Structure 1
């Protein structure tokens, strides 16, 4: 059974066998002689880190078009680095191409087939282009983030930008702000609650943006070594968490709870070896009990929180719930109509097909669930690949977390943040599709790239040990 699981999750991948027979790999290093004489590319990894940091520094404040230009620049730079790369050893190749990379490549291939077979090929091609930009951005990040120094720098840039976003969001709550749209049911008890949206213009989008910030700022409390940085990390965590709560995004709250619970579970796992044997038995139940009690007290004694939580279970009596339910039924009809390979990627393709299935008066720009969105775009084939990608990513993350725990390497805290942030974003994505917006999608692939950057295949572990290079 263990062998089957290892094969399914590609845990025993041997890429050196593929390298010798692959025609695709032969394009790597075509420009190697030019790179060896280039002064600029001697700083290739710092330049790549700068491009990645620019995306996260500007995404909350600029238009999607500018973010798209930066992603094109990142993709072009990754292609340049790949074509001019040194012909690395088998061990280094095994680190650069992870099981996640292979599933991502398959994921892109399925989306390409879905585009070719789409009933609205032109619109689907636009969606495929956007997805391709995100995936090459992931490829560049997974390359750059292998350096612990650059990894810490990119995370630091994002955390400082998220701090600015959170401070402005809290300011909106304190001093009031005119909503850009009706974000709550006007007939509900929470209709007059101020829902902050900061620079992102949408409280649900802001909540999706802040979930990785919450996870990474919590990890920074443990990963940053000096007291002043730790104090800054605590400030970041409190402000990011507070701003996320003030979005009053129910999906964001679901993701927030999942993110915190999973991070705390991994934290107990991390420190369990240092606990006395008697305490280890009670550590996890005590943690879960305290968390459940804290959430229950918040729901009981904070009226706005109580009203928003109660609305989750109001069914069709809540207008937002009723809207989503009607959209989901229409999307399920779309999936039944094209169950194998879907309608093709992107919101443009969705907007062309959805009106043929929509319920009267329930127009929508997306499926309001990332799982349904993947299924409607690529059918059951693409949905299965997406689930496989999630399983492989979580499995790789847990494997590397165990490795880092054995050596008590503080880099493991960033890995905890990435795993918990992905789980939280999936929880949010059950009922919303802000995952597809550039401000959030780039962060999703940052979390996946973080996990991929820690990858050490078994044969490399034996040769190099468990330390980070």
Structure 2
């Protein structure tokens, strides 16, 4: 049957409302699943959520594109918040100038674009207050599911961070970290409270009151001060808004609802706060001697005081490191997303400065600054800082102007709650990094999208594409969405393969590890950690030259502490003594673990001997053995120096001492290997045994040769 263009368009117009309903249903499904989705084959929970977002939102955007294609009159609302997004994107592009890892900048910009796309989808899909409530209840339900999972981990019913032992330390839920969960719950708490007030459904009220009780209960054992700070400020904004706008003239109508909420929260507090009946069983947060109790505010006040009185907290150091980056690249920053890449390099500079003398404790991982404003300023420079401040001003003006324009009391209450959630997120950003957490960022985008949707009046800045521009934009959008989806899938596969490669390294299966890692590198949009682990693999296989190549490629992409130690020892082995010494000196400036510092100083002493600087070597060895008296390689080298000087008695004494240490360590390693051990520890134990056996043979030969 032949259909004319007019009939096709007429049919499409009739189906247009159906298109939007399909889009709304798909949006609800994404809202429910995105914060909950995890895949244990990935290296991080947040990474899985990111890839899921790329793929699902691409599909949802393609559905939207299809609707636009069939409906010539379809308008798109961009809203005033498109201006801040444009400013931030422009700053991000400028930051490419100094970025050591330009691929990381592009990945970060891709995420910014996709969360903006989620925002536009919400704005252009939600048309009524009812739909807005459904979307928010779905988001709260996602938080409810995450809370139930975290609660079961707390009770030891399901496996947590510490197995089945239970307690606060086991809580990670589907977020990968208890603090991430606490932050997410603090954002959705006040919106859930508001929906209870405005909903007419008793079943919804009951469900949300139960959810609030569980959220409140779990926040206590987690004890995240940033999340409590977020919740306190969200509550203050909501309360102040109620007093100012007076959306409910007679609160007595809601007295029973408010009484039930207060009762549920009080019961949650009684059961969750020390010394409550439940956590006395689980040994949670018993008050230490000499610590003041601050009642319900203890989880907020006590850690804040502790942070203030303790000199040189790790987070303060993170902020100073961001300042060092800004001083070095003041205009356009070090590159969006590159704080984590160059963290250790700038930490080394900071620790050697006068201001850094009071710091230097080991920081296991410097991925974030624990302050989004500091981190983004370091990454985007002063231009980025201006963009951030401008964006925040526009954002707050937008939020409160939309609330003010709402005439219905229910809309104002909901709007004030969403404003509280937004402010809570922004406050939390000063002590944490919610913008780097997909679920937390999604909560913010949802709040802003709902406020700017049809539920709060007519959306602003509506545009209608026409003519050649319409087809060009559709074609470019289609190509972009498909390309991102393909890259996301390839990147996901690369991450899975990298994780498998890391496991094989731990098991000691280096050929299998190499195969997995090489496949990962070929699929990855921006290989970072893969280069480092390929270097480790090649070194274990005896290919030192290839290992150096991979480690050098890791510079500017992924720079853990061990990278400089690996390079230093490899350069030393290859006879490149100056480069070896430089790498080891850099390593020592980074504030690494003491055991690794000891190892680095030992290799510096070896280099000193190779350069005929024996006295310098002896000084370094004295530092090594002062730090670790049983560092057998240092003792052996002392014996070698004594033998070189013709002091055979001292040489014998040192070598015999080293032999005793080695025999003791070999005995311990053999005992561990003969018992039950984790597979991930197997390769390390075998490597220790091989190294100790080799050193034992060398010393035995030395002693026999005297």
Q: Same fold (TM over 0.5)?
A: yes
**What corresponds to 2:323 in structure 1?**
332
Give the whole-Å Cα distance in 2 for the aligned partners of 1:153 and 1:390: 28
**Deviations, residues 137-193 of structure 1 (Å, cap 9, x unaligned):** 111111112333332221221122222222332333344777638xxxxxxxxxx85
* 1:225 matches 2:211: no
Q: How many pairs align?
A: 392
Give the whole-Å Cα distance in 2 for the aligned partners of 1:82 and 1:386: 33
**What corresponds to 1:114 in structure 2?**
95
**Aligned-pair CA distance for 1:440:** 1.2
**Residue correspondence of structure 1 range 423-434 to structure 2 within 5 A:** 423-434=423-434
Counterpart of 2:106 (choices 105, 108, 125) is 125
**Aligned-pair CA distance for 1:81:** 4.8
**What corresponds to 1:306 in structure 2?**
298
**RCO comparison, higher one (Cα < 8 Å, 6+):** 1
Give the whole-Å Cα distance in 2 for the aligned partners of 1:304 and 1:322: 25
CA separation of 1:318 and 1:455: change in aligned 2, threshold 3 A: farther
**Deviations, residues 311-350 of structure 1 (Å, cap 9, x unaligned):** 212237659x71111111111111222222222222xx23
**What corresponds to 1:24 in structure 2?**
none
Give the whole-Å Cα distance in 1 for the aligned partners of 2:71 and 2:332: 36
**Any conservation in 2 of the 1:177–1:194 contact (CA below 8 Å)?**
no
* 1:69 matches 2:55: yes
**What corresponds to 1:365 in structure 2?**
367
**What corresponds to 2:393 in structure 1?**
391
**Deviations, residues 383-412 of structure 1 (Å, cap 9, x unaligned):** 2222222222222222222232xx334122
**Deviations, residues 16-57 of structure 1 (Å, cap 9, x unaligned):** xxxxxxxxxxxxxxx999766448655222222233223222
Give the whole-Å Cα distance in 2 for the aligned partners of 1:106 and 1:84: 32
Please report the RMSD computed on the Cα atoms of aligned residues, expressed in angstroms. 3.6
- The more displaced of 110-119 and 350-359 is 110-119
**Aligned-pair CA distance for 1:112:** 2.6
Give the whole-Å Cα distance in 1 for the aligned partners of 2:220 and 2:299: 13
**Aligned-pair CA distance for 1:238:** 2.1
CA separation of 1:309 and 1:210: change in aligned 2, threshold 3 A: same
CA separation of 1:391 and 1:316: change in aligned 2, threshold 3 A: closer
CA separation of 1:69 and 1:271: change in aligned 2, threshold 3 A: same
**Any conservation in 1 of the 2:294–2:301 contact (CA below 8 Å)?**
no
**What corresponds to 2:130 in structure 1?**
149
**What corresponds to 2:339 in structure 1?**
350
Give the whole-Å Cα distance in 1 for the aligned partners of 2:64 and 2:448: 17
**Any conservation in 2 of the 1:393–1:451 contact (CA below 8 Å)?**
no
TM-score of the aligned structures, taking structure 2 as reference length? 0.50
Give the whole-Å Cα distance in 2 for the aligned partners of 1:171 and 1:156: 22
**Deviations, residues 209-241 of structure 1 (Å, cap 9, x unaligned):** 112321221111122113332222222222223
**Any conservation in 2 of the 1:163–1:240 contact (CA below 8 Å)?**
yes
Counterpart of 2:176 (choices 193, 197, 201) is 201
SS in 1 for 2:99: coil
**What corresponds to 2:355 in structure 1?**
none
CA separation of 1:435 and 1:32: change in aligned 2, threshold 3 A: farther
**What corresponds to 2:572 in structure 1?**
none
Counterpart of 1:382 (choices 381, 384, 398) is 384
Give the whole-Å Cα distance in 1 for the aligned partners of 2:188 and 2:300: 23
Gaps of 5+ in 2: 39-47, 252-268, 275-290, 349-359, 463-706
**Deviations, residues 223-280 of structure 1 (Å, cap 9, x unaligned):** 211333222222222222322333211111110111112112222334367369xxxx
**Deviations, residues 90-139 of structure 1 (Å, cap 9, x unaligned):** xx77xx23211233233223323323653431221122122221111111
**Any conservation in 1 of the 2:186–2:230 contact (CA below 8 Å)?**
yes
**Any conservation in 2 of the 1:208–1:435 contact (CA below 8 Å)?**
no
**Aligned-pair CA distance for 1:430:** 0.8
- The more displaced of 74-83 and 205-214 is 74-83
CA separation of 1:112 and 1:140: change in aligned 2, threshold 3 A: farther
Give the whole-Å Cα distance in 2 for the aligned partners of 1:231 and 1:304: 24
Give the whole-Å Cα distance in 1 for the aligned partners of 2:78 and 2:441: 22
TM-score of the aligned structures, taking structure 1 as reference length? 0.73
Give the whole-Å Cα distance in 1 for the aligned partners of 2:335 and 2:67: 30
SS in 2 for 1:410: helix
